[in-house]
Amino acid sequence: MRMLFTIFIFVSSFLNGFSQASKKFIGSWEGKMDVGVQLRLVIHIITKGPDSVSSTLDSPDQNVFGIAADKTTVEGITLYFEIKSSGASFTGNLENDSTIGGTFTQGGNVPLKLIKTDNPSGPLKRPQTPLPPYPYKSEAIEYDNADKTVHFGATFTYPNTGGQFVTTILITGSGQQDRDETILLHKPFAVIADYLTKKGFAVLRVDDRGKGKTTGEVMKATSMDFSDDVITSMDYLKTRKETDKNKIGLIGHSEGGLIASIVLTKRKDIAFIISLAGAGMKGADILSDQGELIMVKEGIDSMTAKSYKKLYKKIINYSLTIADSLESFDKTWQEYAQWKKSMKPASLQQLGFTNDTAAKKIFRSLLAELYLPWMQFFNNSDASLNYEKAYCPVLALNGSEDIQVPPAKDLEGIRSALKKSKSGNYEIKELPGLNHLFQHCKKCGLSEYGELEETFAPEALQVMGDWLKDNIK
């Protein structure tokens, strides 16, 4: 799942010539921006003097509060913010006494409706996040790969007493993630590490390249490179006296599951693998299924989503079989022209194809992403082929409400592959009511991830702990 979030930084501002009519803007205003997930913004506007105001911004989903604005103006019914440090701005009109409708701009335009409120959102609650003092050892550590091209930062946790522990490495999903796999203030890897360490296991969780203390090439890196990073971590763990060197295993979430399956083909000393919504089929198929499910969750009718999926799969295929992206665009445009003839105008509007200019912009952006090295590798990958080479115990879990890695096809792909393998010890489970992050969900769309207080379902933690105890420890 690739999600990059920008913290919107506002610095102090003044508003001159403050009129009586403009007093309607005084107060707190809250809205949500759709950037793949829903991000809440709260803008507080207060008077600073007879002819000026000051304003501050909160972004509760990013734990940012009380940041003031760089430039704010009110002219008639129009409110304008400019954020020079992040290249962002907002322009909105007062629709009535309680609503400002406008656009937030930062590398693209995002609709933003602000509603006046007396009870603006505060910090999000994440009750499962572990806090010190911990009832186990927790070390912040650093180490390098063999040729010193990547320096790693990580946290290693292990029980206070004993030694030679069964040890697992946690492998994050797609996008640059920190060692806790932090998303919208959720820290699922910190929660998993805390649970398993309390159960008597040692756990290593590592910053991805370009995050936290970890360095290394990012833009040209693929899942294959990240599998080498995991191997470096395995070799490091073999130097630790706390680790049972014959019982080092991998737990991978989302893309992390694919990475774990790649490591499986490179090493013969993996004690176990736990796949958390990890790939069990070809990457291109995951993306096309994912796109359809997300569109339906976001309100696009199912027939429109299904039809676009067919076009999308053809575009992915062009990106994998045609080296020249310009030629690929020409093929895509020809396909689109034919496909568009069968679509209703309302369906085209739903998908953002308001005119040819908008459509070309969408396809150029899509192809630019599809030709990135990471995406090329992922779309060509097939984790099921890796699992056919399995020799160790494997536990594969998916949530029944996962719309990013569809559970039925995914788990069946892993199951079918493991039947062909030498593992002989595997368990496949679909956990009811859980989404891609293994949260109990209600709406079960991407926008709900940050709204939910739960970080990781207790039953999913228990399934992992019990399985490790019964099969490894």
- The enclosing domain of 63 has a CATH number of 2.40.128.20
pLDDT of residue 460: 98
- Of 346, 361, 377, the position where a domain reaches its end is 377
Q: Is the pLDDT of residue 20 over 60?
A: no
Q: Is residue 171 part of a domain?
A: yes
Question: pTM score, two decimals?
Answer: 0.84
Are 434 and 405 part of one and the same domain? yes
- 130 found inside a domain: no
Which is higher by pLDDT, 229 or 49? 229
Summarised one tens digit per residue, pLDDT across range 349-372 is: 999 999 999 999 999 999 999 999
Predicted pLDDT of residue 14: 31
Q: Are residues 237 and 340 in the same domain?
A: no
Tell me, yes or no, whether 275 and 293 share the same domain.
no
Q: What is the mean pLDDT of the chain?
A: 91
Task: Answer yes or no: do 289 and 437 share one domain.
Answer: no
**Which of left, alpha, beta for 202 (phi over 0: left; psi -120 to 50: alpha)?**
beta
Residues 291 and 440 in one domain: no
Q: Is 193 helix (H, G, I), strand (E, B) or coil?
A: helix
Tell whether 168 and 276 lie within a shared domain.
yes
Higher per-residue confidence, 41 vs 235: 235
Domain-located, residue 15: no
Rounded Cα–Cα distance for residues 104 and 90 (Å): 4
pLDDT in tens, 67-113: 777 788 778 888 888 878 777 788 999 999 899 999 988 878 899 99
Instruction: Give pLDDT, residue 437.
Output: 98
The answer as to whether 156 is a domain residue is yes
**Whether 416 and 438 share a structural domain:** yes
275 and 168 belong to one structural domain: yes
Q: Are residues 64 and 151 in the same domain?
A: no
Tell me if 107 is assigned to some domain.
yes
Q: Is 218 a member of any domain?
A: yes
Cβ burial, residue 159 (10 Å; 0-12/13-18/19+): middle
N-term to C-term CA, the chain: 32
Residues 366-383, mean pLDDT to the nearest whole number: 97
For 25, phi then psi, to 5°, come to: -80, -15
> DSSP letters along 72-102, please?
EEEETTEEEEEEGGGTEEEEEEEEETTEEEE
* Domain stop point among 377, 410, 434: 377
Cis peptide before 133 (omega within 30 of 0): yes
- Model pLDDT, residue 12: 31
The long-range contacts involving 357-366, CB below 8 angstroms and separated by at least 24 positions, are 360/333, 363/315, 363/329, 363/332, 363/333, 363/336, 364/329, 366/315
Q: 325 and 198, same structural domain?
A: no
pLDDT score of 52: 67
Cα 85 → chain centroid: 25
Spatial CB neighbours of 165, under 8 Å, sequence gap ≥ 6: 158, 159, 200, 201, 202, 242, 243, 244
- Same-domain pairing of 165 and 249: yes
Is 295 part of a structural domain of the chain?
A: yes
User: Which of 87, 117, 147 is where one domain is finished?
Assistant: 117
| Residue 301: predicted pLDDT | 94
Answer yes or no: is 105 within a domain.
yes
What domain range is 180 assigned to?
137-282+381-471
> For the domain that residue 460 is a member of, what is the CATH number?
3.40.50.1820
Shared-domain flag, residues 96 and 183: no
| Structural domains of the chain, count | 3
